[in-house]
Amino acid sequence: MSTSYVHLNVENKVGYIEFYNPPHNALPAAMLARLTELIETAGRDSSIAVIVLKSGGDRTFSAGASFDELIAISNPEQGAKFFEGFANVINALRNCPKITIGRVQGKAVGGGVGLAAATDYCLATIHSEIKLSELTIGIGPFVIEPAVSRKIGLSAMSQLSLEASRFFSAQWAQEKGLYMKICPSVDDLDAEIKLLAKQLCEYNPEALQKLKETFWEGTEHWGELLQDRAAISGRLVLSDFTKTQLKKYK
């Protein structure tokens, strides 16, 4: 595969939302907007009972923000708008009336960790290490912090974000609550997800929707909160420190 895409496929009442952007599934603004759109579309589709969020390829679930777009940011408004893309995806997953399942087949970095944390039930492989590398380029995981802290707690979030150069194992992520189950291979992961989705599709959809609402109680302010966090990142990405660090990735 060499062409980027974001698409929705429906199979046996399960909506599979898949994104792909070589080489490491980094997410530019257009793909984030498309993800938000498809999550909202799937949430309204009465033929879909459960949603699976996945990425293409075998090695990386998502490397987070597109460095090419970070480098191109020239003012705080443009920066805030870019990071709002991640805020919008997280809030779309939060507000979606359907249960969402995260399929993390490989490493997740930065915003990729945030996407995994924003799903209702996340499964991974033994290769699904995680890292919050934002401090290494002079910003921080501000937008995704509420979603990640909600899953793994503030203490683990502090460790993950401050040890910004370190990959944490899939087992660590499972122990902290990000992953519900770790599978030995991608084939095993897909089999587990298919089984879970099938079971969920057999339940009362109204009960599932009400249960999801209870999962997310206390997050009603996230619409405003994540927008404010995006503005922080949008300012920091313009700092001399960050500009210098990003030049290394050109």
CATH number for 148: 3.90.226.10
**205 lies in a domain?**
no
Domain count of the fold of the chain: 1
**218 lies in a domain?**
no
**149 lies in a domain?**
yes
Question: In terms of residue numbers, what domain contains 145?
Answer: 5-185
Per-residue pLDDT of the chain (250 residues; tens, 9 = 90+): 579 999 999 999 999 999 999 989 999 999 999 999 999 999 999 999 999 999 999 889 999 999 999 999 999 999 999 999 999 999 999 999 999 999 999 999 999 999 999 999 999 999 999 999 999 999 999 999 999 999 999 999 999 999 999 999 999 999 999 999 999 999 999 999 999 999 999 999 999 999 999 999 999 999 999 999 999 999 999 999 999 999 887 6
**96 lies in a domain?**
yes
The helix or strand, by DSSP H or E, that contains position 16, with its residue range, turns out to be: strand 14-20
- Chain centroid to CA 77: 23
Q: What's the pTM?
A: 0.97
DSSP for residue 202: T
**118 lies in a domain?**
yes
**242 lies in a domain?**
no
**CA 72 – CA 240 distance, rounded (Å):** 14
Q: What angle do CA 178, 22, 162 make, to 5 degrees?
A: 40
**123 lies in a domain?**
yes
- The pLDDT value recorded for residue 15 is 98
**91 lies in a domain?**
yes
**CA 106 – CA 99 distance, rounded (Å):** 22
